[in-house]
Homo-oligomer: A and B are copies of this chain.
Amino acid sequence: MAERMEGWTLEELAAALGGQLNGPPEKRVLRPVPAGEPDPEGITFSTGPAYDEKIRGSGVGVALVSPGTELDCPTLEVPHPRLSFGWVLQASVRALPLSSGIHPSAVVSLDADIDPTAQIGPFAVIERGARIGPRARVYPFAYVGEDCVLGEGVVLYPHVVLYQAVRLGAGVIVHAGTVLGADGFGYFWDGRQQQKIPQVGGVIVGERSEIGANACIDRATCGATRIASGVKIDNLVQIGHNGQIGAHTVIAGQTGLSGSVTLGEQVVVGGQCAFKDHVSVVDGAILAGRTGVFSDIETAEAYYGLPAIPVKAALRQLALIKRLPEIEKRLRALEQSLESQKKT
C-alpha cells in the first residue's frame, strides 16, 4: 500500500525498536500488514497463539513477537509487540500531498486571513472573514465559508464544507465530504405549509476532535452546536442543530442525534444509535450499537435497546423474547391441565 516508503532493513528495525532479531539483518521490509497477509515485504505482529497461527505459512517479511516465540519467518523479539507495531504504523503515515502556500487555482477572499504557513489546495474556496491558522491544511474542493475559523494544524480533507461561522479548534481533522453548518431541520406548520425556522447559529468544535467522512453537523438555530475537545465522530453521523457533545466522547458510524441533544464527557456511542431531540446523557455512559435513546440517561452504565435500558436487563429481555415460543407452549400446557382438572 505504501509504495513511497523506503521501509527498514531488519537491522534498522531492530535498532529502532530495541529488540532481538532472528533473521537476515540486511533484509528490507516496507509496510505494516495484518497477521496472515502473505507479504514478503510486510511487517506484522503477534500477541499470542491466534496470531501465530495466522502468521505461520504466510511468508510475511518479519513478525514482531514476545521473547521466546517461534515462527517460520524472521522475527523480532520485543517486550510489547503491539506497542512496537504501533510505532511502525505511526512511522508509515504519509500525509496526502499538498503544496505549500496557496494553490493558484484556489479562490480566496481578500477579506480572509490566512497564516503564511497554512497550505491551501487546488480549487479550495475561502470566503470573506475566514481565518486560517498556522500549519492548517485545506485540501482540494474544501469550502471554508464566511467568518469560519480554522485553528492551528486543522486538516480539512477534500470536499469538506463549512457553511458560515464554523470554528474548529487546533488539531481538528475533518474527513472528506463532511458538512458542518448546514441548516438545522426546523419547520412549523402554518396551517397551509411548513414554514422554515431560520437557522442562524454556528458550529464550534474543540481541539483535537476528529470527524469522519460524509457526516453532517448542523448549525444551531441560534447560539452554537458545540463539539468539545477530543471528540471522535465516525462516518455518516448526523448531529442536529444545537447539539452539545462533551469532551472525549466517541460516536460510531451512522448514529443520528436529533436537535438539542446533550451528550456528556467520555460517553461511548455505538453505530446506528438514535437520540430523540432534547435528551441528555450523563458523562461516561455507554450506548451499545443500535440503541435508541428516548429519555434522559442519568447513570453512567452500559445501555442497549429501543428504548435504551441497562445492558443486563436488555439481554434478559432478549433471552426471554427468544424463549417466547417455549413460554407460550408452557402456558398452553397449563391451560390444558387446568381444563382437564375441571372436567374431572
Contacts and interface: CB of A to CB of B under 8 A. Distances in A.
A327 interface: yes
Interface stretch (A11-19, A67-75, A141-149): A141-149
A29 interface: no
Interface in A147-194: 147, 157-159, 161, 163-165, 175-177, 179, 182-183, 185, 187, 193-194
A26 interface: no
A179 to B, nearest CB: 4
Interface residues of A, number: 114
Interface string A246-280: 00101011101010000000000001101010000
A234 interface: yes
4 shortest interchain CB distances as A-B pairs: A1-B202, A32-B222, A320-B324, A182-B213
Interface of A: 1-4, 31-34, 37, 39, 86, 89-90, 92-94, 96-97, 103, 105, 107, 109, 121-123, 125, 127-129, 139-141, 143, 145-147, 157-159, 161, 163-165, 175-177, 179, 182-183, 185, 187, 193-194, 196-198, 200-202, 208, 210, 212-216, 218, 220-224, 230, 232, 234-236, 238, 240, 242, 248, 250, 252-254, 256, 258, 271-272, 274, 276, 289-290, 292, 306-307, 309, 316-318, 320-325, 327-328, 330-331, 334-335, 337-338
